[in-house]
């Protein structure tokens, strides 16, 4: 019998303390339904870890995560951390870079019965996660954004062949195994001839290795127009860091907002489930946060692990989670207020878990 999956639980900050338990509840229900063995490992992180252990990323956390197959990370409210305290760091870039979580996978899907700009949208944006413009991840030491004079700021953009090739391959594999076999590369090589040019070159080279995938390219500004005019035409999209960050939020807006925007950051060996939305301190502690995005991020983690580890029970567990969330939304039962219902965070999580428990195998 295969060894149990080892999955970490990192609740994060603010509404993370509310939505992560609902995600784990749904994952537990799916694992129990399929006979999938999972060992759960709570791991300290964020403001609570700072208060209890003196550091937002306590010593031993990275070492513990290095022993796991993946983990669920709640939203991090790092903007509220004490300023100037070296122990109050933002854990995000450390986790991404330490574990080489180079592919940020962000689906956008519309649901019948829920308010959305468009119906029948079902696309996934695969965003390069460790290079590009963000100054916290494009230099080995120092910072990729600096101001040499009071009136001049310079921002560095990092694009490598290896990074471009890795994220493109992740997107092609996704298009082949779990999607509709169509991939669109988004860039701006007409202007960024070297940076976007290198990214595009690697996408084109890989396209020759995947002849079963319908491959195309769209310039980023044109893609933005096409996305808001007819998003149904897209399946899997691969792009660079900042382009992907912006476009995925736009795609979420077309289908109902960030409450319906799960995400997975994947690397060579491990993956991290983390919803696209923030920690929402304004509604924290009120039991009204929508747990859908966090639950479906956990669903994505099980699917990724199932394919990565050739574990069919994990794949089936992910399918049960997706079908259960679809059913709860379709039947408009136990929906939170942002989705037009009156349910609490816990009630919606319990409804999805119950739907999993009673689903046919």
Contact 46, 81 (CB under 8 A): no
The whole-number pLDDT of residue 246 equals: 97
Q: Do domains 1-101+263-361 and 117-255 have the same CATH topology?
A: yes
Average pLDDT, the chain: 96
The DSSP bridge pattern shows strands 122-128 and 236-239 to be parallel
Least confident of 96-110, 139-153, 296-310: 139-153
Average pLDDT over residues 25-40: 98
CA distance to 5, 135, 247, per residue, from 146 (Å): 43, 9, 26
In the chain, domain spans: 1-101+263-361, 117-255
Does position 137 have pLDDT exceeding 90, yes or no? no
CB-based contacts of 260: which residues, under 8 Å, 6+ apart? 108, 109, 111, 114, 252, 290, 292, 293
Class of domain 117-255: alpha beta
Give the alpha-carbon dihedral of 105, 111, 116, 119, to 10 degrees. Answer: 100
Does position 340 have pLDDT exceeding 80, yes or no? yes
CA atoms of 16 and 308, how far apart (whole Å):
27
Average pLDDT over residues 281-291: 97
The CATH architecture to which 1-101+263-361 belongs is 3-Layer(aba) Sandwich (3.40)
CA atoms of 217 and 200, how far apart (whole Å):
8
Contact 333, 58 (CB under 8 A): no
Does position 249 have pLDDT exceeding 80, yes or no? yes
Does position 1 have pLDDT exceeding 70, yes or no? no
The whole-number pLDDT of residue 65 equals: 98
The whole-number pLDDT of residue 113 equals: 87
Q: Each residue of 180-228: pLDDT tens digit?
A: 999 999 999 999 999 999 999 999 999 999 999 999 999 999 999 999 9
């Amino acid at each position: 019998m295969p060894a149990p999956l080892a999955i970490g639980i990192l609740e994060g900050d603010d509404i993370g303390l509310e939505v992560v338990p609902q995600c784990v509840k749904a994952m537990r229900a799916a694992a129990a339904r399929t006979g999938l063995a999972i060992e759960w490992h709570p791991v300290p992180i964020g403001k609570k870890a700072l208060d209890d252990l003196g550091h937002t990323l306590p010593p031993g956390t990275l070492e513990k995560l290095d022993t796991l197959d993946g983990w669920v990370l709640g939203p991090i409210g790092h903007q509220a951390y004490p300023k100037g305290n070296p122990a109050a760091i933002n854990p995000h870039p450390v986790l991404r870079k330490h574990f080489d979580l180079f592919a940020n996978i962000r689906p956008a899907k519309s649901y019948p019965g829920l308010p959305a700009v468009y119906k029948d949208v079902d696309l996934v944006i695969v965003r390069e996660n460790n290079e590009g413009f963000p100054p916290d991840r494009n230099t080995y030491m120092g910072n990729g954004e600096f101001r040499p004079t009071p009136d001049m700021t310079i921002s560095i953009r990092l694009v490598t062949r290896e990074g471009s090739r890795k994220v493109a391959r992740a997107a092609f594999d996704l298009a082949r195994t779990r999607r509709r076999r169509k991939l669109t590369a988004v860039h701006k090589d007409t202007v960024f001839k070297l940076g976007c040019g290198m990214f595009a070159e690697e996408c084109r080279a890989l396209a020759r290795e995947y002849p079963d995938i319908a491959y195309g390219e769209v310039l980023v500004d044109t893609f933005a127009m096409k996305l808001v005019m007819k998003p149904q035409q897209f399946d899997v999209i691969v792009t660079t860091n900042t382009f992907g960050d912006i476009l995925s939020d736009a795609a979420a807006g077309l289908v109902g907002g960030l409450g319906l925007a799960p995400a997975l950051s994947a690397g060579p060996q491990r993956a991290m489930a983390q919803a696209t939305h923030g920690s929402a301190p304004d509604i924290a502690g009120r039991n009204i946060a929508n747990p859908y995005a966090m639950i479906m991020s956990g669903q994505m983690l099980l699917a990724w692990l199932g394919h990565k580890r050739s574990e069919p029970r994990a794949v089936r567990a992910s399918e049960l989670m997706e079908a259960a969330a679809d059913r709860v939304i379709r039947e408009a039962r136990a929906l939170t207020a942002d989705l037009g219902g009156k349910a609490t965070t816990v009630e919606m999580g319990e409804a999805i878990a119950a739907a999993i428990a009673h689903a046919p195998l």
